[in-house]
Amino acid sequence: MPEPAKRGRPGPRRALTENQILDAALTLLDEGGTDAASVRGIAAKVGVAPNAVYTYFPDKAAVIKGLVERLLGEVDHGLFVDRDQPWRQRVESLALELRTRLSAHPGVVPLMIGGPMDGPNALALNERLLELLADAGLHPADGARAAYLLIVYVFGSIALEVADLPQPGPLPPESERIGTRLLAFSATPPEPYPRTAAAAAELAAYISTEQYLWGLHRLLDGITTS
C-alpha cells in the first residue's frame, strides 16, 4: 500500500486583517509621525511578531501604499460628480474634501507625496478630475496637464501646511496655528527684511482656508485662459 503523500508545512496563519494593520499604521502616524510607523512598530501595536505583518504586506512601502489607497477611497465623490453643477464649484469641492481628509492625518501627507499614487482609488480620483476639466472645455492633453497642476497645488499646499506643525499629532485649530505663525513673523526685523516684516499678517495666513482657495481660484482662472 503506497504511503500517503507528505504535506508541506502550513503557511503563517492569517490571524489579522489588512484593515487592522492599516488601522495600526494610521494610529502610529497620527501619534508619532512618519518615523513611528515601522513594520516593527505596527506589529507591536497589533500584538504580533513582525513576520505576521509581512504575511499581508511585503514591506513598509506596501503598508503606506495601502493606507494612501484607503484614505483616497474615503473621499466623497458625491461632492463633485454632479455634472449639473458648475465645473469650478466641483473642483473646489474636490480640493476642500482632499484638504479635510488629509489634514485629519498629517503624518500620512509626506508619505503620500513621496511615492506613486497609482492604485485603483487614486486612478478613480484622477479620472473624476479629468472629467471635470473636460466639462470645462479643455482639450484632453490640456486637461491632463491641468489635472497634474491641480494635484501638485493641492497636495503641495497640504504638505506645507502640515510641515508647519512643531510636533506630530492632529492639526490644532486654524486660528490657533495662524496666531502662532503671526507671533513668529511679527518678530521679523524690518532691516534687512522690510517687505517680509510688512507682510507678517499675510505670511501667517498662508496656511488658511482663505489662502488655499485664493490660490486655487487663480489656478482655475489661468487654466481656462487660452
- What is the DSSP annotation of 157-186? HHHHHHHT-SSSSSPPPHHHHHHHHHHHHH
- pLDDT at residue 37, rounded to an integer: 87
Listed as ranges, residues in the chain with pLDDT below 50 are 1, 5-13
CA distance 36 to 226: 47
Q: Are 69 and 121 in contact (CB under 8 A)?
A: yes
Q: Are 209 and 92 in contact (CB under 8 A)?
A: no
CA distance 97 to 8: 50
- pLDDT at residue 11, rounded to an integer: 46
- pLDDT at residue 226, rounded to an integer: 60
Count of other CB atoms within 10 angstroms of residue 196: 13
Q: Please check whether residue 152 lies inside any domain of the structure.
A: yes
CA distance 35 to 41: 10
Q: Please check whether residue 50 lies inside any domain of the structure.
A: no
Q: Please check whether residue 203 lies inside any domain of the structure.
A: yes
- pLDDT at residue 8, rounded to an integer: 46
What CATH number is given to the structural domain containing 173? 1.10.357.10
- pLDDT at residue 108, rounded to an integer: 87
- pLDDT at residue 14, rounded to an integer: 53
Domain of residue 168 covers: 76-223
Q: Please check whether residue 54 lies inside any domain of the structure.
A: no
Q: Are 80 and 97 in contact (CB under 8 A)?
A: yes
Question: pTM of the predicted model, to two decimals?
Answer: 0.85
CA angle 99, 129, 115 (to 5 degrees): 60
